[in-house]
Amino acid sequence: MGTRVKVTTVGSSVGIVLPKDVLAKLRVDKGDSLYITETPDGVRLTAYQPDFAAKMEVAERVMRKHRDVLRKLAKS
């Protein structure tokens, strides 16, 4: 089940106010950035940047593959 929010005026723009429990689930606070992604079911609101997450997955694969070399470099 979803959480209902209302679109409201914020200064000269419009926005939504997120309830405290939603902010806690997203692990964000005032001033943090959120990302809106279109999906086949509508839109998704996340606290991470999908492009950055994809780059991190590649970095993790490289680190796993070259774990021994990285360990030796860390000891230097």
Beta bridge partners of 69: none
Q: Please check whether residue 33 lies inside any domain of the structure.
A: yes
Domain count, the chain: 1
Q: Please check whether residue 2 lies inside any domain of the structure.
A: no
**7 vs 44, which has greater pLDDT?**
7
Q: Is 28 strand, coil or helix? A: coil
Q: What is the pTM of this model?
A: 0.56
- Tell me the pLDDT tens digit for each residue of 40-70: 999 888 887 767 778 888 988 999 999 999 8
Q: Please check whether residue 1 lies inside any domain of the structure.
A: no
Q: Which of 32, 15, 36 is nearest to 24 (CA)?
A: 32
Domain residue limits at 33: 7-75
Instruction: Flag whether pLDDT at 12 surpasses 90.
Output: yes
Q: Are 53 and 46 in contact (CB under 8 A)?
A: no
Neighbour tally for 49: CB within 10 Å: 14
